[in-house]
Structure 1
Amino acid sequence: MVNLLTGADIRSRNRELLQRLEKISYQEILSTIPRECFEKNTLRGMLAVLLHLGILATSYTLWTYAPVWLAPLFWVWVGTVLWGNFVLAHDCGHRSFSPFNGLNDCIGHTLLLPTLYPFHSWRIMHNRHHTWTNHQEKDNSWRTITPEKYLAMSVFDRFWYRNAHSYAWWFASEIHLFLYHYDKAKFRPQEWSEARFSIAMVLGFGAIFFPALVYYTGFWGLVNYWLMPWLVFHFWLSTFTMIHHNHPDVPYYHPEDWTPVKAQLFGTVDCSYPWWVELVAYNIGIHVPHHLTTAIPYYNLPKAQAALKTRWPDFIHEARFRWSYVQKIVSTCHLCDREGYHVPVSTIAHQHVKS
């Protein structure tokens, strides 16, 4: 396993590893994963969805009888369960939930409605991230840019970028949701009809759900039962996404250096989380095999991960979720230097910034 602790020789070691990757084909890596890992079990997926929705319904039922002072506990738990909604819909978006795309779309839309994510809009955008993982020009998720591009930004854009990549990272996914997934200009003409359908579904849901929630529970009910869990959901969405692709040891590649093998095998981080998060996170922290191929259902990711770690141990990045680990990322992973490695914004603070 790659040592995630930085040191004076880490770049030299990484150069050697990346040179070795130049000689390895994508197909050679994929052939490491057992064929049974690609088998989709629709029944197993549906049972997981039903169990998950049962957890969500039970949590809300208990909440209605709980004292008010327990509200923050429920916010954290229900927001985490909503993150599980997203992860199961994530399999639907990659068509690894079921071989029946109509079912994938139905389950995906249903699970994402409470989060306000238009299913097809998200699916299209997310697949672009998979296509161009850790590409400095084309990745649309947590991409870090060069100091020159940062200095060329407007004051407002620099403010947004700097905070989204530092201690306000948990708001990044909320901004990304509304900037990317509802904007017609972000989609190709052939993609827009599906995106528009999903947007209409979310708007229709919101037009019914939010007035009804306020009517029956009041404004506090809107905050208590939806807004606060939704913010916790976005905390996990931002955190998982950031950790999967940001670490001082993991570069964002310049266009001339980028290759799919480097990006998907060496540019992605597996991360383990507390048991109560893992309970409803459905193996999304096992991210390297998922990035190598999105065709693996979530329940087969551990077996695929074990096979990859056995055959390619030098190239696998692993981590454990801790606040100190998150702090290291948000305090250093802001910009990319000439080799693509992360540097903090403070490294260019002495330069004159033109507004």
Structure 2
Amino acid sequence: MACTLADSLLLFKGSFQKPLCRRDITAHYSPGIFSLNSDGLIRKGFRRQRSFVTRNKVTFIRAVAVPVQQPAPVEDVEYRKQLAEDYGFRQIGEPLPADVTLKDVISSLPKEVFEIDDVKAWKSVLISITSYALGIFMISKAPWYLLPLAWAWTGTAVTGFFVIGHDCAHKSFSSNKLIEDIVGTLAFMLLIYPYEPWRFKHDKHHAKTNMLLEDTAWQPVAKDEFESSPLLRKAIIYGYGPFRCWMSIAHWLMWHFDLKKFRPSEVNRVKISLACVFSFIAIGWPLIIYKTGIMGWIKFWLMPWLGYHFWMSTFTMVHHTAPHIPFRNTEEWNAAQAQLNGTVHCDYPKWIEILCHDINVHIPHHISPRIPSYNLRAAHKSIEENWGKYLNEASWNWRLMKTIMTVCHVYDKEQNYVAFDELAPEDSRPITFLKESMPDYA
């Protein structure tokens, strides 16, 4: 199971100086790091402990090499089913053929999924405003022991504002581009998120999804960075471990307020967004404090904001993070594989899907960001019909989260990821704690 990935694996890297299993082995070849499951199948990225004897006790026998046309494990249906079970997925897609292009996938979609509907767009605004107002009312009336539920609702509701601004940034909200910029700026202001800086960086995420060193959404930890300093290593372990569901706060601070990170042609628009955000801080925060006090600011603004960042972080890592989804160098990167094969569709409870405007129907959004959020389900249905066997799909579950938070850490070209506790077990008590404390339900 995914909860014991880093504890129970025995890696095979070639055959030299490794223990041999006392049993017949039926092997399927795939480049990388492998292990043996109980059925004798080689599995990439797992180590399962078995009964072994050391090499000096092995009696060598003559073997005859017979060329057999066998599929690589990742192409094997049973192998992918087992991976899906271990990782907490409903389905792990088979590899997309290299000759399939992103244009091929886009051209298979019905034209109506790209159509902007102003009524549906403003309906999403109404849903977000209404649900947010209800959340504020709940916070004002809830006894202290029900406040976490009110904060959870309100934080999810303001995530809907982010999704509306997200559509505006992709020019999929309205046919009027000025209205899109105004709505996007206002939707982000409550979150003190500068709209234009985020838009510029997010466009790069779509252009270079899961491209090593280039994707701006997030990157796996570099090994040399992890080993550069004991203090930095501990900070990284906590950030990518227990605090990972709020790591978008660090991303927000690092990427969106430094003018040096933007091209000269972008700076003026960035300054306008920053001015809007700082205006809200200078005017909105004092008004909240004046009306409700410091504790009111914490209750009515800070806690829902932290709830929003929980979803921002969680959605982002679920959409593109799994042990079998690689980050690739520029030379090896393939757009269709990254967007179709490297993006995850995850079903959440219905109330979250409604308040967040189906942002987790994420594969069609990466196939084309021009698809409005209210058309994502229709687009996904079409993709399932035409490309279904290549899709990574899950329903949110604890095993999925546990896999991401305890395994997907340091970049490795062969394995995709190496867990912190494999590289630095003495510093990885936070990861051990997660393995022991997080549920393993799928």
TM-score over 0.5 for the pair: yes
Corresponding position of 1:277: 352
Q: Are 1:178 and 2:239 matched, yes or no?
A: no
Q: Which amino acid aligns with 2:419?
A: P
For residues 145 and 94 of structure 2, what CA distance do their matches in structure 1 show? Answer: 52
Which structure is higher in RCO with an 8 Å CA cutoff and minimum separation 6? 1
User: Number of paired residues?
Assistant: 347
Summarize the Cα distance change of 1:282–1:10 in structure 2 as closer, same or farther, 3 Å threshold: farther
Larger Rg: 2
Q: Are 1:65 and 2:161 matched, yes or no?
A: no
Contact 1:254 1:340 in 2 (8 A): no
Q: What 5-or-longer segments of structure 2 have no aligned partner?
A: 6-34, 46-71, 77-92, 428-442
Within a 5 Å distance, the mapping from 1:198-213 to structure 2 comes to 198-213=273-288
For residues 322 and 241 of structure 2, what CA distance do their matches in structure 1 show? Answer: 13
For residues 199 and 285 of structure 1, what CA distance do their matches in structure 2 show? Answer: 28
Greater shift in the superposed pair: 96-105 or 62-71: 62-71
Q: Are 1:239 and 2:314 matched, yes or no?
A: yes
More helix by proportion, 1 or 2? 1
Corresponding position of 2:193: 117
For residues 335 and 225 of structure 1, what CA distance do their matches in structure 2 show? Answer: 37
Corresponding position of 2:369: 294
Cα displacement (A) at 1:62:
3.8
Corresponding position of 1:342: 417
RMSD (CA atoms): 2.3
Cα displacement (A) at 1:232:
0.9
Contact 1:253 1:340 in 2 (8 A): no
Summarize the Cα distance change of 1:191–1:158 in structure 2 as closer, same or farther, 3 Å threshold: farther
Q: What 5-or-longer segments of structure 1 have no aligned partner?
A: none
Matching residue within 155, 176, 184 for 1:108: 184
Matching residue within 147, 150, 161 for 1:85: 161
Q: Are 1:36 and 2:126 matched, yes or no?
A: no
For residues 51 and 278 of structure 1, what CA distance do their matches in structure 2 show? Answer: 12
For residues 340 and 193 of structure 1, what CA distance do their matches in structure 2 show? Answer: 43
Corresponding position of 1:303: 378
Q: Percent identity?
A: 33
> Structure 1 length as normaliser, TM-score?
0.91
Q: Which amino acid aligns with 1:314?
A: K
Corresponding position of 2:219: 143
Cα displacement (A) at 1:247:
0.6
Cα displacement (A) at 1:297:
0.3
> Structure 2 length as normaliser, TM-score?
0.74
For residues 415 and 383 of structure 2, what CA distance do their matches in structure 1 show? Answer: 25
Cα displacement (A) at 1:139:
0.8
Summarize the Cα distance change of 1:162–1:140 in structure 2 as closer, same or farther, 3 Å threshold: farther
For residues 222 and 121 of structure 2, what CA distance do their matches in structure 1 show? Answer: 42
Contact 1:89 1:111 in 2 (8 A): yes
Q: Which amino acid aligns with 2:124?
A: A
For residues 291 and 360 of structure 2, what CA distance do their matches in structure 1 show? Answer: 37
Q: Are 1:313 and 2:388 matched, yes or no?
A: yes
Cα displacement (A) at 1:75:
0.9
Q: Are 1:48 and 2:124 matched, yes or no?
A: yes
Greater shift in the superposed pair: 59-68 or 136-145: 59-68
Cα displacement (A) at 1:36:
0.6
Summarize the Cα distance change of 1:123–1:157 in structure 2 as closer, same or farther, 3 Å threshold: farther
For residues 277 and 236 of structure 1, what CA distance do their matches in structure 2 show? Answer: 10
Contact 1:97 1:104 in 2 (8 A): yes
Contact 1:21 1:261 in 2 (8 A): no
Corresponding position of 1:251: 326
For residues 188 and 241 of structure 1, what CA distance do their matches in structure 2 show? Answer: 25
For residues 202 and 185 of structure 2, what CA distance do their matches in structure 1 show? Answer: 15
Q: What SS class does the counterpart of residue 197 from structure 2 fall into?
A: helix
Corresponding position of 2:208: 132
Q: What SS class does the counterpart of residue 346 from structure 2 fall into?
A: strand
Q: Are 1:99 and 2:175 matched, yes or no?
A: yes
Greater shift in the superposed pair: 159-168 or 208-217: 159-168
For residues 104 and 97 of structure 1, what CA distance do their matches in structure 2 show? Answer: 6
Cα displacement (A) at 1:37:
0.4
Q: Which amino acid aligns with 2:418?
A: V
